[in-house]
Chain A
């Protein structure tokens, strides 16, 4: 059986899909990919359904050995990847698929918001309908934990014979401020607080994780007590505890929370927020519902267009020449916020 044998687990590598649906009312957060666009594109590159489970790589990716059959992988997002085969080292590009042979070792180094998908998907049993990993309650495949050395991840099937696919260009996640809709509890804050949120710069704190990003910057003042009767949350909510320091919630957020929420990042900008790293500077811009809806529709059109434009090529063709210039300039643009 084709499988990936984990030699080194990386810093925090987890199985994720598009999230666990239908259990929030029991206290189970959706979890799922912090960058759902990267997940969908990686799956498309290997011919999978958009929500197939894949590996999410954080900070440092894993090192894996291919066993039992040919395996086709796809990488999306910023990741340094090397393939070791018969003593030879090859650098593997992100944003395309690669065919790996039994015995190949795949070394994934520095990674942020990157995804590794496998053709046919992993042969793991869903938990509560999903392959998403929620480590705080041990929900998901592998007992709901991050990868560990020695894990063997079976695939549903080995790779079929076909050409490799690549994105025509790295996906454009957009730039500029993250767009927010005010509320649901913006009336719990001073009139200046919302103005501060959408005009100041906030730095992502060092304890950022899948649950949320602590934002360091000007404090946001409450006009009412910061505690509310706990109510439901979604990823994107910006909650503000009594110290006035906002927290942007991500996929592993608690299902309910007792702090007032001043604003909520719109769904079109959540994949970009999910790719944030400690030290990144985030800005926010207030929009109305119609602009949020249009932005989401535009994102969906661009994802569909990126999938439709995926070029199929023969294995071995050096795609780097095709778009490395784009990739480099894209990363420079994406790094402007890092200061």
Chain B
């Protein structure tokens, strides 16, 4: 674990260099115990690091980083943070499904079974409001991002890249492979909890 300053208003608590379930579990565990430290404005959990944003008029980097480091080192056995479990109905009808099947050496049915056969964990939200990065895809489905990103990925598209899968909350540019679609509202500012998914939630997909 190391703490890296991000300017004078934030720092990153980094548990690993690369994506891993273990690092993400520690990120979520640390995020869960930070609440009471004065001066923290908000936090951004990500795959393997926790960004802590603070008010430099209420606290300073050195003492806050020291306090957070103490908490992080105390997480010897990172408790697994359990969020909600979601079941999402998916139409596996994405335009990239045939190309994905070919690249993975699988039939269409095998791709669908492999993707829908796992339970995924939300590692973080970002890119756009409500966009949840879910991992980990079974190794047989892991492909690099498309060489040519699309200028417009339709809202509701189920996509995958590397070890991750996600659903686009809105139309947006995107470079992931589109393998399906869903009728879910992933972000609604009028809801008490605007984002459907939260870091730590688990998600299962059901082919319809």
**Residues in A lying within 8 Å of B, measured CB to CB:** 21-28, 127-128, 136-137, 139, 180-181, 183-185, 228-234, 236-237, 254-256, 261, 264-268, 289, 292-293, 296, 300
Say whether A230 contacts B189, CB under 8 Å. Answer: no
The 4 residue pairs across chains A and B that have the minimum distance between CB atoms: A232-B51, A256-B126, A232-B44, A264-B7
Give the interface centre of B4, B60, B62, B195 by most chain A CB atoms within 10 Å.
Answer: B4
Q: Which of B11-19, B69-77, B82-90, B100-108 contacts A (4 or more CB under 8 A)?
A: B11-19
Which of A128, A139, A184, A229 is the one whose CB lies under 8 Å from B6? A184
Q: Do A137 and B62 touch across chains, with their CB atoms under 8 A apart?
A: no
Given A24-B44, A232-B49, decide whether A254 and B8 contact each other with a Cβ distance below 8 A: no
Nearest B-chain residue to A180, judged by Cβ: B7
Residue ID in chain B nearest A287 by CB atoms: B8
Beta-carbon contact of A293 and B61 below 8 Å: yes
Residue in A233, A254, A265, A266 whose Cβ sees the most chain B Cβ within 10 Å: A233
> At the interface, yes or no: B99 with Cβ under 8 Å from chain A?
no
Residues of chain A lying within 8 A (CB to CB) of residue B62: 289
Does B205 sit at the interface, judged by CB under 8 A?
no
Q: Which of A183, A230, A233, A234 contacts B124 (CB 8 A)?
A: A230
What are the residues of chain B within 8 A of A292 when measuring CB–CB?
7-8
- Contacts A26-B194, A137-B129, A137-B170 known; A230 to B8 CB distance under 8 Å? no
Name which residue of chain A comes closest to B197, CB basis.
Answer: A26
The distance in angstroms between the C-alpha atoms of A236 and B10, with both chains bound, is 11
Please determine whether A26 and B7 come into contact, CB atoms closer than 8 angstroms: no
Cβ–Cβ < 8 Å partners of B131 in chain A: 27
Whether, in the assembled complex, B183 has its beta carbon less than 8 Å from a beta carbon of chain A, the answer is no
Beyond A23-B129, A127-B189, A267-B8, 20 additional contacts (C-beta under 8 Å) are A24-B42, A25-B43, A25-B45, A26-B125, A26-B187, A27-B130, A128-B194, A184-B5, A229-B46, A231-B14, A231-B44, A232-B6, A232-B12, A232-B53, A232-B126, A234-B51, A234-B53, A255-B126, A256-B127, A293-B56
